Structure 1
Amino acid sequence: MAELSALVPLLADRKLEFDNSNNRPILQTLAKLVFKSLIWVVFTVWVATIFSLPTEFGQKLLSKWIRTTQGSIFGVTGSIFLGFSAPILAIAILACIYVAFFSRENLKRNNYKFPRYRLWTFPVLVSGPFGVVSAAELIGIVIFSAYVLWSLAAYVVQIDSSIEGDSLTLKEKSLLMLEIIGLRLGLIGLFCLAFLFLPIARGSILLRMTDIPFEQATRYHVWLGHLTMAIFTFHGLFYVIAWAIQGRLLQQILEWKDIGVANLPGVISLFAGLLMWVTSLRPVRRAYFEVFFYIHQLYVIFVVFLALHVGDFIFSFAAGAIFLFILDRFLRFCQSRTTVDVVSAACRPCGTVELILSKPPRLHYNALSFIFLQVRELSWLQWHPFSVSSSPLDGKHHLSILIKVLGKWTEKLRDIINSVSDNHQNDLSSKLKLITVSVEGPYGHEVPYHLMYENLILVAGGIGVSPFFAILSDILHLSSEGKSCSPKNILVIWAVKKSMELSLLSTVDAQSICPSFSDKLHLEIQTYVTQESEPPLEDGRFNEKMGYPPLLISSSNLMSCLVGTGHKVWAGIYVLVSTIGFIVFYGLLELYYIKPFQVVAWWYRGLLFTLCMVASVVLLGAIVIFFWNKWEMKSSSNDSWTANDNEKKNHNIFVTDDKKENLTSVQTIQYGTRPDFRAIFSSYAEQMGHINVGVIVCGPPGLQSSVARECRYQNIRGKWNHPIFHFNSQSFDL
C-alpha cells in the first residue's frame, strides 16, 4: 500500500471549496450554531413531552395546555396539533433553511483527520432479526423499546390504582383493565406511527439534514413497522377479548358512532395494516414481491380509516409526520409523470443491462445515489430501485445504471433491447420509442461521504459493484483534476459467480478519465470467481452487444428536477407554503363550516382534517411545483448540450487488452474461492497503521454480516497501531 499522511485533508468538494473553520465569517458560524441548537431544542422538548405523557405530571400538563389553548378557532384539535405535530413541522422548516445555507459544511475536512470511533459506523450487532446494527442504531432501538415498556408500565400502574377501590367484581375489573390497556396501547401506537412515516419519505428534508439516505432509512421503517403493527394488533386484540367475554363482539365491531371512537373504521384500518404487515415479512416479500408492493398501497386505507376511527384531535398526535409523507409523495408523483429519453442501452452476455438516461445539468447527485425506474411497456405500477453506476463528473447530461437480469421484469426489458439491436440501423430512431422510461430520484446522501476517507475498502457481491463504479469514476476524475484531498488508497474486493461478470469493469473507462491514474492513486482490485476453478478459454475477452448505440439527442425529455433532493430553496418553499396552507385551510373550515353548522361527529371531523392535509399539498403545493418546474425548465434551456460532455462516457464494445491504462491492470483474479476477510483485513491493518479506513459494502445480507463482523473484530482488538474500520452499507433491500 502507498504510504499515507494522516494530516492530508480527507474531503474534497467538486465545485465548492470547503472553508476552514478559522476562515469562515463569525456570523455564518454563529447562525449555523443557532439553527442547529434550535432544531435540537425543539426535538428534545418534543421527545421529552412524549415520554412524560404516561405520567400523572404529563397528563396534568396536557390538560392544562388544552385548557389554555383551546380558546382559539382550532379548538382541542389545534391544542394537540400544536403540542405534538407542530414540533416536527417546525423542525422540517428549520431543516430546509439549514440544508439550503449550511449543508456544505455538514462534513468538514478535519472531521476524519484523526482516527477515532464513530457511533454510526461501528457495527455492534452483525446478525439476527435486525441485520447489521451500528452503535447509534442500537441506541435508537433501546430508546424506542424503553419508551414502549415505560409507557405501558406507567399506564398499567395508573389503571390498577384507579380501579382498586371501585366496587366491581374481579371479572368486571379484568374486563375494564383490558379495555383501558387496549386504549393506552392505541395511543402508544400513534406515537410509533409518527416515527414510522418519517424515514419512508424518500426525499425528506429531515433525511437530508441528518444525511441519512433513503435506502438506509427503509431499515428503520421496517423495524418501526413491525413494532407499530404489533402494538396496534394488541390494541385491537384486547378489545376483541373483552367484547367476546361480554357477549357483544359483533355489535361492537360494527358500531360506527358519531360521538366517541368509531369501531368499524378502526377494524377496517387494522385489517389493512395486518395485510401490509403479513405481506411485508421477509419470506413473503422475497417470494412474492409484487404482492407485497401492491398490498402496501393499502396505506391510504390504513391512514384514512384511522382518522375516521379516532377523530381529528386524536389523529393530531401523529398528523405532522403523515403530512410530511404526503408532501414527499405528491412531489414524487409530479416528478414521475415525466418521460425520460434513453440515450443508449447495452445487453451484456453476463446477464446485465446498462441504460444511459438523459438528465438536465442542474439535477445534481452524488456517486452513491440511486433512482427508481419505471418502464411503462413492462408495467405502469412497478417501480424498481437501481444504484447509479456513473459519477456526476462523467457528464452533466446523463447518468447510467446497471440492471442485473434476475426476474420477469428484467427479462422483458432485456428482450426489448435485444429486439432493437436486431433491427436495421435505419429504423433505430423509431425503435427508441419502444421503451418509455420514468424516473424518481436520484436519492442518496446529501454529501459525498466516500470522499471523507483517504483510505477505502469497497466490498461487492456480483452486481453490487455497480455503485462502486460510480465511486471509482468519481475519484479518477478528481485525481485527473489534481484534487489533493480525494481518496489515495482504494482496495476493491469483488466476488462474482462466473468470470463473464468481469466484463463489467469496462463500464469505467479509466484510460479516458485519468490516463496516468496509477501515479496519483493506489488502486487494487481483488476479484474472486466462486463457481469456476480456472480461467475460461476466452481469457477475459467478452463481446459487449449493444442495443442502442451512443447518441447525441435533444434535451426534450429529461429527468425532472422536482425531487426531494433537488433545489434546496424551492423544496423549502414547497414545504413552507403547504404547511401554512394546511393550517389556514383547517382554520377556515373550523370558522365557516364546523362551528356554524355544529359538526360534532368525530369520524367526520377526522375526514375533514385529512382532506385539509391533502388539499393544502395538492392545491397550494402544486402552485409552487408549477413555478419550480418553470424555473427549472428555463434554467435548463440556458445550458447547451455539448459534444465534449457526451464524449466523457465512452461505451466500448470490447474489454481492452491494454493492461497499462485500464482497471484490468490493477486487477488480480482468484478462481474457485471466496474472499477470506479475516486474512485480508488483518494484512491491511498491518500495512496501514493507525488511520481511518472507510469500508463500504454492497451485496446480499450474508456478505454485509461477514464484513461487519470483521470490522467489529478488528476494531475490538484495539491495537494502537492498527486502523479503525468504519462500516458503511450501500445495499438497498426492500
Structure 2
Amino acid sequence: MEEKTAAHVTCSNGKTRLIQTLVLGIVVIIFLGYSFMWIMMPTSAYREYFYPKIRAQTNSTFFGTQGTTILVYTFPVLLISVLGSVYLHLGLKLASTNSCEIKRKSMFSWWKRPMIIRCLGIVSWIELFIFVMFIALLVWTFSAYLHYFFNHMDIFKEIGQGKRWEAKLSIIGLTLGIVGNICLTFLFFPVTRTSSVLPLLGLTSEASIKYHIWLGHITMFLFTAHGLCYIVYWAVTNRLSSKILEWKKTHVSNVAGEISLLFGLALWVTTFPRIRRKMFELFFYTHYLYILFIVFFIFHLGFNYFCYMLPGFYLFMVDRFLRFLQSRQCAQLVSARVLPCETVELNFSKDQGLSYTPTSIIFINVPSISKLQWHPYTISSSSHLEPEILSVIIKSEGSWTRKLYQKLASPFPIEHLQISVEGPYGPASTHFLRHDKLIMVTGGSGIAPFISIIHELLFMNSTKKCRPPRILLISAFKNSSELTMLNLILPISNASSRYSNLELQVEAYVTREMEPPTESPKPLQTIWFKSNTLDAPISTTLGQYSWLWLGVITSSSFIIFLLTMGFLTRFYIYPIDHNTNKVFSNSLRSVLNMLLMCISILVTASAAFLWNKKQSSIKTNQVKKVIELSPLKHNSWVDTPIDRELESLPYQSLLETKNVHYGRRPDLRGILMEHEEASVGVLVCGPKSMRHQVANICSSSLAKNLHFESISFSW
C-alpha cells in the first residue's frame, strides 16, 4: 500500500514538474520578446516599419493609440506575472510533498560568487553582468535615438531654422528623458513585495532594495539633466517665460513635468545615506511624494505614454492595496521577552495555516509610537516548529525602537499593545539543506534570521526525514549583556530533546570586554498581554492559495480596467476626438484612466481579500481557543520562577557547545578557510564591514567550496 502511495506521489510530482517547466518556458519566450522590443525601439526599422504596422493593426475605437502600447509593453509583463503565480504555486505543491532539498552543485555557482565594488557594494558576477547589460541598454537607446533624431531634425517643428547647437541641445534633452523613462519602467519591481516577478528570478523584495536604489539614482539623474537641458534651451531661444508656464491641452505639459521633477528632487535628496541615517523620519515621509511624482508625470506625458511604464507600477499598486487591507487588522500580541541588552522579542499569535520560509520578514507598525512608520524585521521563529507563534527580535538602536523598548521595559508593563503587521515576505524556497555545513556569521541583533534557520533545521531533524547540515554559529557582540540573545536560539518547549541530535556549535566573541563580568546577567523578563477582541492572529492576506489568488487579482483587475477604459474611449472620448489626440484633453483622459485603474484594483483585491477572510474565520476562532489552552499562556503579567526555569532550558543545553571569547574579534579568514567540506554555506548578517570581509574571503579562488549569502536588510 505504501509503495502504491509513493508511486502515485512520484507520478503526480512528475506531472507537476512538467507543467512547471512548460510555464517557465512560456515565461522565458515572452520575456525575450519583451526585451527585443526595448532593444528595437530606438532603431529606424522599428519607428518607420514595425511600429506603424503594429499600430495600424491595433488602433481601434475602443482603445485608440494607447492600445498599441498596452499590447506591446504592458500586457506581456502582466502575463508573465500571472504565469509566474502559477509557477510558484506549483513549486509550493512540490515542496509540500518533498520537504528535503536535493544536494547538487549548481552549474551557475561560479556566477553567484561575490565581489565587492565600491559604489555598488557586494554583488555577484551575475548581478554585475545584468547591471552592465542594463547600462548597455541605456547607452544603446541614448546613442540610437540621438543618431535617428539628428538625421531627422525636420520632424521637430519647434526647432525651425535656429542655430544647430540649440536644436541639438533640445534633442539631447528629449533623449535623456526617454532613457530616464526606461529606468522608471523597472523602478517599482524591486519594491513590490507580493509580486511573482522577483521570486521567478530567485529574488526577494528585501534583497532587491539595492536595485531600487540604483535605478532611483539613475532615473533622477537623467530626469534632472532632461529638465536642465530644456530650461537652458528655452533660455537661449528667449522663450523661457512662456515655455516654463505652458500646460497644453493635447500635448506635453511643461508645468506638470516641472512639478513632477520638483517632487522627485525632494524625494531624491533625502535618500542619500548621510541624510537618510541621521533623519530617517524625513526620508520616510518624503518618500510618499512618489504618488505626486507619478501623477504629475502622467499629466506631463499623458496616459498613453505612461503605458510603457505601467506594468511595474500596476503590480506595485496591487501589492500596496493588499498590504493596506492586511494592515487594517491589528495583530494579536501574546507575549514579549525583554532582554537586559535593550532587546525585545515579540511573540505574535499566528494562523496555523500561515507558512513562511526561514529568513522571512514582516513590517511592523506601532500606532502609539508613529502611525505612519513601518519597520522591517526578520522573523526568528519557524512556521513548522512553532505553528501557533510568530516571533521577531528588535534591538533598541534608533528613536523608534528605543521608544518601543521603553514601553515594554517599564517597571509598570502595559497590558496591551496595538500593533499592525504586513507580511510575512520571504524567499519562495531555501537551499540550506544542499550544503554539508552551514557557517553563520552574525553581529549583534543580526542573529535573528539564523535563529529562524536553526528552528527550521530543528523541525527537520525531529521529523527524521532528512539529516540537516552541521552548524557553526559565529556571533560577535559588543558587550557581555548581549550574550543573552543566545538564549533565544532554541524554542522553550521540548528544547533539550529536539536539540540533542542537532550538530550546533556556537562561538561567541565579546569585543569590548577583556574578561567575563563578575555579576551574573539579569534574567529575561516575560510580559504577557491581555487578549483583545479586535486583534487577530497573523494570517496570509489571500489564504492558502495566495499565489493563485494573486494571479486572479492581477488578471481580473486588468481585464476590468481594459473593458471600462474601452467603453469610456468608445462612447465618450472617441465621439469627441476620433483618435486624433488633438481635441480631447490629455489631463482629463489621464484622470479618468487613473481612476478606472484604481477602482478595478480596489474592487478585485477587496473581493478576494474578503472572500479569503470569510473562509479562514472558522480556523481563526479555533486557533484562538488553542492559544487560550496553550502552556505558553500565563495569568501573570511578568515572569515567575517557573517561567525562568523554562527559559533557562535552551541556555543550559547550549552551554555544552558554546565558547565565549573576550577582548577580540573572530579570525574569520582562518575559521572559514579551515573547512574542507565539499559544500559550505556561509551566511552573514551584521554590519557592513563584516559583510564585506566575509564576501572578500568567499570570493577567493582558494575558497571554491564556500557559498556566500548576505541576509542583511539594509537601506
**CA deviation digits over 1:29-51, x for unaligned, max 9?**
33222111000010110011101
The CA distance in 2 between the partners of 1:605 and 1:224, in whole Å, is 29
1:415 to 1:120, Cα distance in 2 relative to 1, 3 A? farther
**Would you say the 8 A contact 2:440–2:684 is kept in 1?**
yes
Residue pair 1:461, 1:700 contacting (<8 A) in 2 also: yes
Instruction: Give the alignment of 1:456-475 within 5 angstroms.
Output: 456-475=438-457
Cα offset, 1:474, TM superposition: 1.6
Of 83, 89, 95, 1:100 maps to 89
Match of 2:580 in 1: none
Summarize deviations over 1:577-622 as a string: whole Å, max 9, x none.
Answer: 2111111121121122212343622222222222222111112332
Cα deviation, 1:187-230, whole Å, max 9, x if unaligned, reads 22222111111111111121233331111011111111111111
What is the deviation of 1:282?
Answer: 1.3
Equivalent in 683, 692, 709 of residue 728 of structure 1? 709
- What pairs up with 1:112-151 in 2 under 5 angstroms? 112-114=103-105, 118=109, 121-124=112-115, 126-151=116-141
2:415 is matched with which residue? 432
For 2:662 and 2:162, how far apart are their aligned partners in 1? 71
Question: In 1, Cα distance between the equivalents of 2:360 and 2:647?
Answer: 28
Q: 1:290 to 1:115 in 2, by over 3 A?
A: same
Task: Say whether 1:367 aligns with 2:358.
Answer: yes
The amino acid that maps onto 1:308 is F
Number of the residue aligned with 2:144:
154
Letter of the 1:590 counterpart: T
Residue 607 to residue 177, structure 1, CA distance change in 2 (3 Å) = farther
What's the secondary structure of 2:541's corresponding residue? coil
* 1:528 Cα deviation after fit: 1.0
Deviation at 1:21?
Answer: 11
- 1:527 corresponds in structure 2 to 508
- 2:367 pairs with 376, 382, 385, which one? 376
- Between the aligned partners of 1:565 and 1:268, the Cα distance in structure 2 is 44
Q: Does 1:621 align with 2:588?
A: no
Q: Which amino acid aligns with 1:38?
A: I
Other-structure match for 2:617:
633
Partner of 2:26: 38
CA RMSD of aligned residues (A): 3.0
Deviates more, 1:225-234 or 1:109-118: 109-118
Contact 1:272 1:302 in 2 (8 A): yes
Deviations 1:341-372, CA, capped at 9 Å, x for gaps: 21011221111011111221122212211111
Matches within 5 A, 1:269-284: 269-284=260-275
Residue equivalent to 1:545: 525
Select the residue among 684, 697, 704 that pairs with 1:697.
684
Residues 48, 646 of structure 1: CA spacing in aligned structure 2 closer, same or farther, 3 A cutoff? farther
CA distance in 1, matches of 2:436, 2:93: 19
Counterpart position of 1:253: 244
Q: Tell me the CA shift for residue 236 of structure 1.
A: 1.2
Change (3 A) 1:116 1:156: closer
1:259 aligns to what SS in structure 2?
Answer: coil
Corresponding residue SS for 2:299: helix
Task: Give the structure 2 partner of residue 396 of structure 1.
Answer: 387
For 1:45-64, list aligned pairs within 5 A: 45-60=33-48, 61-64=50-53
Aligned equivalent of 1:710: 697
Measure the CA separation in 1 of the matches of 2:687 and 2:418. 30
Task: Return the alpha-carbon distance in structure 2 between the equivalents of residues 345 and 589 of structure 1.
Answer: 54
Following the alignment from structure 1 to structure 2, what is the Cα–Cα distance between the partners of residues 146 and 67?
Answer: 31
The alignment partner of 1:382 has SS state of: coil
Instruction: Give me the whole-angstrom Cα distance separating, in 2, the residues matched to 1:492 and 1:653.
Output: 25
How far apart are the structure 2 equivalents of 1:512 and 1:166?
A: 75
Contact map agreement 2:451 2:490 (CA 8 A) in 1: no
2:405 corresponds to 1:422 = no
Distance in 2 (CA, whole Å) between partners of 1:359 and 1:529 is 35
Q: What amino acid sits opposite 1:443 in the alignment?
A: Y
Question: Aligned partner of 2:418: which letter?
Answer: T
* Distance in 2 separating the partners of 1:662 and 1:551: 31
TM-score (norm 2): 0.91
- Give the total of aligned pairs: 695
Mapped to 2, the partners of 1:302 and 1:19 lie a distance apart of: 57
Identify the range of structure 1 (297-306 vs 147-156) with the bigger mean alpha-carbon deviation: 147-156
Q: Is 1:478–2:460 an aligned residue pair?
A: yes
For residue 57 of structure 2, what is the aligned residue in structure 1?
68
Q: 2:70 aligns with which of 59, 65, 81?
A: 81
Equivalences for residues 336-355 of structure 1 within 5 A: 336-355=327-346
Q: Unaligned regions of 5+ residues in structure 1, if any?
A: 1-16, 424-430
Q: Which one of 91, 95, 113 corresponds to residue 80 of structure 2?
A: 91
Distance in 1 separating the partners of 2:106 and 2:72: 42
| Counterpart Cα distance in 1 of 2:674 and 2:9 | 37
CA shift for structure 1 position 334: 0.6
> 1:299-698 counterparts in 2 under 5 A?
299-419=290-410, 422=412, 431-433=414-416, 435-485=417-467, 487-509=468-490, 512-516=493-497, 520-538=501-519, 541-546=521-526, 548-549=527-528, 557-562=536-541, 567-598=546-577, 600-637=584-621, 639=623, 641-642=625-626, 646-647=630-631, 653=644, 662-685=653-676, 688=677, 691-698=678-685
Shift in alpha-carbon separation, 1:569–1:166, aligned structure 2, 3 A:
closer
Counterparts in 2 of 1:518 and 1:324: CA distance versus 1, 3 Å = closer
For the residues of structure 1 that align with 2:319 and 2:80, how far apart are their CA atoms?
A: 16
Judge conservation of contact 1:480–1:517 (CA < 8 Å) in 2: yes
Q: Name whichever of 104-113 and 214-223 sits farther off.
A: 104-113
* Distance in 2 (alpha carbons) for counterparts of 1:77 and 1:166: 22
